[in-house]
Structure 1
Amino acid sequence: MLTVYGVAPSEIVSGGSTLVQFPPLSGRAVGGVIPVDCQVSVLKLADSALGSTASWPWKPVDRGYVISSRNVQSSLLKNHLRQVRHLQDSSGCNRIWPWFDPRYLKLALNTLAGQELVKLFGPVESFGFADESGVEVFQLRSGLVHVTQVRR
């Protein structure tokens, strides 16, 4: 069974069944504008949320994203998202990054490869991002990211 969850900054979420809220780790900003972290809500959404932004309980819709998983315990998904909050830099140090921001997650999905990409997906079957015409869905198949457009 496919289950869809939403991930967005808690301050812009207007409703939904909250699975977990991740508090900020540092509250720091980079360049004074881009938050490295903030309080993030993970919500259980209707299955149709992977195909339409109409039921996404945050506005603007491009400030969050959806993930889908199949037959995964919610505790496993929560633990995976806890790990995703940190990335290792080239010197092997763990760094906090804005994992809740769709722009940065899409950048990671488009640039990571091999084991790094497999680790980022973990139990997640797909990531969905709002675009002008619907939802852009990223899936990992045979070690490569495949992107499909789901029209409204």
Structure 2
Amino acid sequence: MLSVYGVAPSEQLFKGTSEAEFPAFHGRPVGGPVLVDCKVSIVKLGSHALGDQQSWVWKPVTQGYAVALENQPLSSLKNHLRGLRTLKDESGQNRLWPWFDPRYLKLVLRGLDGDDLVRLFGPVTLFAFALENGVELFSQQDGSLQVKVVSKC
């Protein structure tokens, strides 16, 4: 069974019931005008959300992303995302990064392969990101990134 959830800063949610909320965590802004100290929520979405960003309950839709899990409980997503709060930089130091910001997550997804990509996906089957007129779906197969664009007709 496929379950679809949205991940976005809590203040961006206009409707929908929060399934899980992550408390703010402290640190400096990372890589631009993205606040690292904000609450992030997970909301339940319908499976049609993977092909149509109009059903995403946060606005603007570019401020969050959707994920799909196959036969996994919400707790596996919540625990996985909790583990994404830090990322090792080139010098091996753990750094806070805005894992909830689709711009940064897409950069990281595009920059990884092999076991690193598999670890970043964890229980997630698909990451879905808003495009101007559609949705971009990221999946991985055998440690290789697969990207598919679903255009809205």
In the superposition, the TM-score normalised over structure 1's length comes to 0.93
Quick one: distance in 2 between partners of 1:74 and 1:120? 17
One-letter code of the match for 1:79? Answer: N
Tell me the CA shift for residue 86 of structure 1. 1.3
Whether the aligned pair in 1 keeps the contact of 2:8 and 2:40 (CA below 8 Å) is yes
Does residue 101 (structure 1) correspond to residue 104 (structure 2)? The answer is: no
One-letter code of the match for 1:109? Answer: L
In the superposition, the TM-score normalised over structure 2's length comes to 0.93
- RMSD over aligned Cα, in angstroms? 1.5
Whether the aligned pair in 1 keeps the contact of 2:53 and 2:134 (CA below 8 Å) is yes
Deviation string, structure 1 residues 27-85 (Cα, Å, up to 9, x no partner)? 53247733234111111111111110111011111111000010001111110010011
Whether the aligned pair in 2 keeps the contact of 1:63 and 1:101 (CA below 8 Å) is yes
| CA shift in 2, pair 1:139/1:31, >3 Å | closer
Identity %: 55
Give the count of matched residue pairs. 152
Does residue 24 (structure 1) correspond to residue 24 (structure 2)? The answer is: yes
Which runs of structure 1 show a deviation greater than 6 angstroms over 4 or more consecutive aligned residues? Answer: none
Whether the aligned pair in 2 keeps the contact of 1:37 and 1:96 (CA below 8 Å) is no
Moved more, 31-40 or 9-18: 31-40
Whether the aligned pair in 2 keeps the contact of 1:37 and 1:97 (CA below 8 Å) is no
Does residue 70 (structure 1) correspond to residue 70 (structure 2)? The answer is: yes
